[in-house]
Homo-oligomer: A and B are copies of this chain.
Amino acid sequence: MIKVNFKSHNKEVYCNKGDNLLEIARKEGIFIDAPCNGSISCGKCKVKLLNGKVDTQKSGHLKDEEWEQGYILACNTKVIEDIDIDVPSKLSSSMYGMKIEGSDKTKDKEIFDRAKKLIKDNNFEFNINIDKIYMELDEPTIDDNISDVDRIERYIRNNLGYSEIDFTIELLRKIPTVLRENNFKVTISYVKKKNKITILNIESGNTEGKLYGLAIDIGTTSVVVCLVDLYTNEVIEKASSGNAQIKYGADVIHRIIYSSKGIGLEQLKKAIVQETINPLIESICNKTNISKDDIVSTVVAGNTTMSSLFLGVYCDYLRQEPFIPPFLKSPNLTSKDIGLNINSNADIYLSPSVASYVGGDITAGVLASGMWSSEENVLFIDLGTNGEIVFGNKDYMMSCACSAGPAFEGGGISCGMRASSGAIEKVSIDKDTLTPQLTIIGDCEPIGICGSGIIDLICQMLIKGIIDRRGKIHRDIVNDRVRFNEHEIGEYILAFKEEYNIENDITINEVDIDNFIRAKGAIYSGITVLIESLGMDFSVIDKVLIAGGIGNNLDIENSILIGLLPDIEREKFTYIGNSSLVGSYLTLISNDAKQKLQEIGSQITYVELSVYPSYMDEFISACFLPHTNIEQFPTVKELIDGVNIFSKR
């Protein structure tokens, strides 16, 4: 046995000679960022070898100076003798403390109040079929010696009028003891369905008024859990964290691949349920002092892959032509089916998916957007780990998924990172000195750059003449902020290590820019094809709603300038935040909304871009700043014509 000492975590681990270092860390629950899931393609799993030798190779992701300092890629390293390892804290902490929009309580209240208004505006009711009743039962005597169950059923029949009463074996096992804890005075939680009721919980004494639900948004990158009072419909508490599945891959494709091998599916299910959601529930319950048994209903929204992995359902066919999801609507589920740490009989409702790459997060988002009741034409864009688009109004809705990848969340960008503490979120560049001015999340040194920062940066580099419309750095710039490596790949330095006393420079290179341009091109061409497929053009768009974590600090003007968003009136754009979470919340507090969500799932038409004839042409044309056809960006064209901002310096 060989000893690996993770100095940074104060943890000694034993393994066999030849074991992969990333795998060793994963087994021990030591978080090392590995968005590409160990395929040596992202370079994010850098760790520092402090002592000992390993079997590894220098990859292109490691700079000479990093290599000399002892940095290695964990995924590309075999352990051959006892070693000491340092996992840089920026990596291990990037998953936690992630900046998730809406953690501001006042802003949250506004968002959820606006959502409730949507219910009212559509004459929906805040009707749920769960309730509680306090019952003082007659104590048994030799003359009234019916069974415990019959005693409860008799009360329900006489007081609630239901004769068909259902319950689980777990509940049955509680009944005899709970009945006698407080002289046959108990409170029952129950669900009404047609003429039948199902008992969810039995508690000693009177606990009426305590009934809670959870609205959960399972993002590929981050997860949010809201605790909702089912009597007042108020959001009582909210907690969020990174999705612990990140260690198995940053995007859905890498996770699907991982899930299809060995115990991968089990590990991914465990990562989301046991390692992500249950700890969030735990923290919420501790904070609010609410009994988990009183949480009796849950609505979950996630994309099709997240939904499958949450249920532990094999989903490898999602990524193989013809891209078949295992299911769109989930079966009836209770929390014990999943292992959620709440009342074991709590109903778990999964927001329905539309297709392989338009999932329950989008249907929930569409519900929250209100576009299903809109007379106007609404363009809904979810800019998350992937990009999904829905266009339509109350009469029809079309959707598509763009293979945008994780670039908006920093994936595939060498210094990219999620929008957490230390991320550069806003950038402007001085046109003369080319010195950048940075806005950093949190009160700390910069660690990397997140999606909104990258949009600003590329826009600024274009406007200030550092890059051309293909995203290439002008070769004749003479400035210490711009340099070229031995392969003639250019990069721009956002932050010198000396400036901030950090370990390495923070840079963006031409490969990064290219990756980002392809991501924004995927979104833009997706919008174009979707609207074209209806025989329409951008002029019909009355409203653009931008959802998703990425949208939080999105600069609309800059996004249009680089050709991510269509060049239409700026006042048509609105951020709507985490619409998937809001949709889950509405579904939790209103059966009418749930009914509508089911309808939305069936009504949205899915357009498979990959088989749409013009999509590839549109995509290639959009892989330009802002676009090969500048006519599509009249306001940008005007700028160019006026001051020729895109000319060489």
Contacts and interface: CB of A to CB of B under 8 A. Distances in A.
Interface in A312-337: 312-317, 321-333, 337
A41 B353 CA distance: 66
Given A176-B317, A608-B142, A169 B327 contact: no
B328 A149 contact: yes
A166 interface: yes
Interface in A159-173: 166-169, 171-173
Given A142-B611, A177-B314, A608-B142, A324 B169 contact: no
A429 interface: no
A171 B176 CA distance: 32
A148 B326 contact: yes
A145 interface: yes
Contact of A326 (B142, B149, B323): B149
Nearest to A314: B176
A333 B142 CA distance: 30
Which interface class (under 10, 10 to 19, 20 to 34, 35 or more) fits A? Answer: 35 or more
Nearest to A333: B169
Contact of A324 (B145, B316, B331): B145
Interface centre among A317, A332, A608 (most CB of B within 10 A): A317
A169 B311 contact: yes
A175 interface: yes
Nearest to A174: B314
Contacts of A145: 322-324, 355-356, 608
Nearest to A177: B314
Nearest to A611: B142
A172 B327 contact: yes
Interface string A338-373: 100000000000000101100000000000000000
Contacts of A353: 147
Interface in A163-215: 166-169, 171-173, 175-177, 180
Nearest to A338: B169
Contact of A313 (B173, B180, B314): B173
A140 interface: yes
For this chain, the copies found in one complex come to 2
Nearest to A337: B169
Contacts of A329: 149
A123 interface: no
Contacts of A595: none
A260 B38 CA distance: 53
A479 interface: no
A158 interface: no
A529 to B, nearest CB: 16
A328 B149 CA distance: 8
B331 A173 contact: no
A66 to B, nearest CB: 42
A355 B321 CA distance: 60
A631 interface: no
B149 A311 contact: no
A150 B328 contact: yes
13 contacts: A140-B322, A145-B324, A145-B608, A148-B317, A148-B324, A148-B325, A148-B327, A149-B327, A169-B337, A172-B331, A176-B317, A176-B326, A180-B317
Given A149-B328, A176-B313, 8 more contacts: A142-B608, A148-B325, A149-B326, A149-B327, A169-B311, A169-B331, A172-B326, A173-B311
Ranked 3 nearest A-B pairs via Cβ: A149-B327, A142-B322, A147-B325
